[in-house]
Amino acid sequence: MNFTYFMSHLQGRVQLNEQWQAEIKNRCQLVEIQKGGVLLYPNEICRHVYFVCSGFFRMFSLENELDETIDFAATDDFLTCIDTFFSQKNGKEGIICERDGVLLKLNINDILALQDLSTDFLRLCNAILQEYLILINREKNVFRTANATQKYLYLCRRYPGIANLVSHKHIASYLGITPPTLSILLKGLLRKTN
């Protein structure tokens, strides 16, 4: 079920014949993880790209022993720690499961092998990378120009129900505000809806 869903997700970008589907399936591993489980600890090398079939994940870094939220990933997202994945050097980032999840993972060596075998897989990787570059650029513009309320509302549109998935301190960290400021912001939004 999860692999079939994953393949239909990929087929929306590049048509892969049955042989290529089998090649990818042979290299994918299913990962089931519970809330609080860690996919990657800070100071480790990220050797995988994950496809989130279900669950909710948070990327974080430890700066001066403070847990700072970098990003989130939900169903249908690809997930990795970009700096350490591409450099294959230890990084400051980690990945933790915030809601029980199921993922498919591909090792960097398998990704490189698939790219060497066919330009179709390389085209697929480029299509996914382009989508994420567009998303990152869009988010950069939101976070460059928006106030805290607008950033929070954008985050809620991107990840519906996020306030019930992660603690407010992690949302505040991601938005670059303090938890008390987020509390004031939320009270203001609640007043506007009533």
CA 105/CA 55 separation, integer angstroms: 14
Question: What pLDDT shows up at residue 13?
Answer: 80
Q: Are residues 78 and 131 in the same domain?
A: yes
Q: pLDDT, tens digit, for every residue of 145-178?
A: 999 999 999 999 999 999 999 999 999 999 999 9
Q: Are residues 87 and 182 in the same domain?
A: no
Q: Are residues 83 and 24 in the same domain?
A: yes
DSSP 8-class letter at 92:
S
How many angstroms separate the Cα of 105 from the Cα of each of 76, 82, 161? 13, 15, 25
Q: Are residues 43 and 32 in the same domain?
A: yes
Token code pair at residue 171: 């949302």
Question: What pLDDT shows up at residue 42?
Answer: 93
Q: Which of 144, 145, 143, 150 is nearest to 188 (CA)?
A: 150
* pTM (2 d.p.): 0.90
Domain that holds residue 176: 146-194
Q: Where does the pLDDT of residue 62 fall: very low under 50, low under 70, confident under 90, or very high at 90 and above?
A: confident
When divided into structural domains, the chain yields a total of 2
Residue 45 is part of a domain; what is its CATH number?
2.60.120.10
Helix (H) or strand (E) holding 14: none
Q: Are residues 170 and 116 in the same domain?
A: no
Q: pLDDT, tens digit, for every residue of 30-54?
A: 999 999 999 999 999 999 999 999 9
Q: Where does the pLDDT of residue 192 fall: very low under 50, low under 70, confident under 90, or very high at 90 and above?
A: confident
Question: What pLDDT shows up at residue 173?
Answer: 94
Question: What pLDDT shows up at residue 69?
Answer: 95
Domain end call among 145, 161, 186: 145
